[in-house]
Structure 1
Amino acid sequence: MWTSLRRSLESRYRVLVPDLPGHGQSAGEPYRSHVETVAALSHVLKRNRSAPVAVIGFSLGAQLSIELAARYPGLVDRAMIVSAQAQTMTFTKVTLRVLGVAAPLARNHRFARLQARELFVPPELMDEYLETSARISKATLLAAVGNNMRFQVPKSWSNFRGQALVMAGRRERALMRDSAAAIHAALPESVLEIVDDCGHGIPLQRPDWFNNRVAAFLVR
């Protein structure tokens, strides 16, 4: 799924898929905040930039895409925002305390597999997901989830002048659909799409459709 999309894009574009701090090959560098992560990513893009940049983000990655386009609009030509939560959740402190106690479960393969099913992770990506999950530290988990839960649409998002596509699944929680509407309302020039038959997993639930939608967005 991802391989076919990447090959298709690489035939026409230069593709960069960075590891987040605390994840993958960057597991030794703790995740601190969305703002620090986006600042680091902006430096990478400035060093490697040869053309206007399109950013595509899902879930927490979609929040980072909004932050990048809002803070560094000169770097970003278009942004595809897929299932970004954009309204601060209640009981964040309590949730994070519980998460801190439960953090070791991320290293338990049985628990991680159950979580992967909730996230629609396909079988071919399961081993990679389990490996990544096992390497995430408690500090990274709490920082990333805390930033995710507190995220709000930046005021400067309304100044973004590139193309923007905002998506949410029709079967996602109302919070996610309301968030998509708020992101779109803050940038009325954006396009809002509610995707049928999808929960919080559009790229994984409808991969062929999503791949085609990405390609169409990039050439529009």
Structure 2
Amino acid sequence: MPTFLSFEDKDPGVASRVPLVLVHGHPFDHTMWHPQLTEFAPTRRVIAPDLRGYGASPVTPGTVPLSRHAQDIAALLDHLGVETFVLAGLSMGGQIVMECAARFGDRIRGLVLADTFPAAETPEGRQSRNAMADRLLAEGMRGYADEVLEKMVAPYARPEVKAHVHRMMTATSPQGAAAALRGRAERPDYRDLLSGLTVPALVVVGADDTYTPAADAEAMHAALPDSVLHVVEGAAHLPNLERPEEFNRALGEFLARLDERTVGSPV
């Protein structure tokens, strides 16, 4: 059965290395992972979808909960014949990764949680997200993109990084972004889930992130039974784009550890 999502699938045919699945944040698309696709696709299978409502994937108006995004990812991986994998997500993508762990954690060999947090939304947060959804539907994406650009990436980020991030935001469907915001406002609390996970995890955060501060990453690291914390200096909410060499180095070390476990596991 064809998959619902648009996606990029880079498969060099190296079966000994666990596949990497990259889940983007809001309001972006899979091209936010360009430095990671470039770095890792030559040596392992890397799959980067556009989430429902983003990029080239179809838009579902109304409300799209995190559970629907998780179901879409499971269906995509089934379609591609990928049974086990490392699942990486940033911001909203990290929360989708946590939802995936709750639903099909037995398929996940490792988690990467970047610039995200596990708590349920507060009443004020729900109100704010729904108000922003109304605004995006009424005004479109450009005003919002202009306002938040230097929170998504640090004010000192390279011009080409700023341009890429702004381009992704303004290209996003307002209907898709609004539906995801309404769904995200209703997300569950994942903190108990994290404390029960046994697979290795990598927690990454930009040191200058104001959306999900380093304290949030430190709390996740403390809750996870088997995790590594990496704080990226000189980056805000998108360290994978702002400081790709450092982000890739931390991710590469984590993947190498998982590859060793996979090779050493019984068939």
TM range, smaller chain = 0.7 to 0.9
- Find the partner of 1:136 among 174, 178, 191: 174
Judged with a 3 Å threshold, the aligned counterparts in structure 2 of structure 1 residues 106 and 203 are, in CA distance, closer, same or farther, namely: farther
Partner Cα separation in structure 2 for residue 180 and residue 144 of structure 1: 23
1:197–1:125 CA distance, 2 compared to 1 (3 A): closer
- Using the TM superposition, give the Cα deviation of residue 21 of structure 1 relative to its aligned residue in structure 2, in angstroms: 0.9
Give the one of 62, 65, 68 matched to 2:97.
Answer: 65
Kindly provide the CA deviation profile for residues 196-219 of structure 1, in whole angstroms up to 9, marking residues without a partner as x. Answer: 333222122212211222222211
Corresponding residue of 2:139: 105
Structure 2 spans left out of the alignment, 5+ residues: 1-31, 154-160, 258-267
1:96 aligns with 2:129: yes
Within 5 Å, give how 1:1-220 maps onto structure 2: 2-30=33-61, 32-50=64-82, 52-87=84-119, 88-103=121-136, 104-108=138-142, 111-120=144-153, 121-124=161-164, 126-132=166-172, 135-137=173-175, 140-149=176-185, 151=187, 152-153=189-190, 155-173=192-210, 176-220=213-257
Looking at structure 1, the residues matched to 232 and 181 of structure 2 have their Cα atoms a distance apart, in angstroms, of: 25
Q: Alpha-carbon deviations, 1:50-89, whole Å to 9, x = none?
A: 4630111111001111221232112111111001122333
* Paired residue secondary structure (1:22): coil
The number of aligned residues is 215
What is the rounded CA distance, in whole Å, between the counterparts of 2:130 and 2:52 in structure 1?
22
Q: Secondary structure at the match of 1:17?
A: strand
Q: Which moved more, 1:29-38 or 1:174-183?
A: 174-183
1:2 deviates by 4.6
Cα distance in 2 for partners of 1:2, 1:166 equals 17
Q: Which runs of 5+ in 1 are unaligned?
A: none
Taking the aligned partners of 1:83 and 1:185, their CA distance within structure 2 comes to 15
**Letter of the structure 1 residue corresponding to residue 116 of structure 2:** A
Amino acid corresponding to residue 168 of structure 1 in structure 2: V
Checking the alignment, whether the CA contact within 8 Å between 2:126 and 2:185 is kept in structure 1 is no
% identical aligned pairs: 23
Task: State how far apart, in whole Å, the 2-side matches of 1:175 and 1:5 are.
Answer: 21
TM-score normalised by the chain length of structure 1: 0.81
Contact 1:119/1:200, CA 8 A, preserved across alignment:
yes
What SS does structure 1 have at the residue aligned with 2:240? Answer: helix
TM-score by length of 2: 0.69
Offset of 1:192 from its aligned partner?
2.3
Q: Is the 8 A contact 2:85 2:108 kept in 1?
A: yes
C-alpha RMSD over aligned residues: 2.7
1:19 is aligned with what amino acid?
D
3-state secondary structure, aligned to 1:86: coil
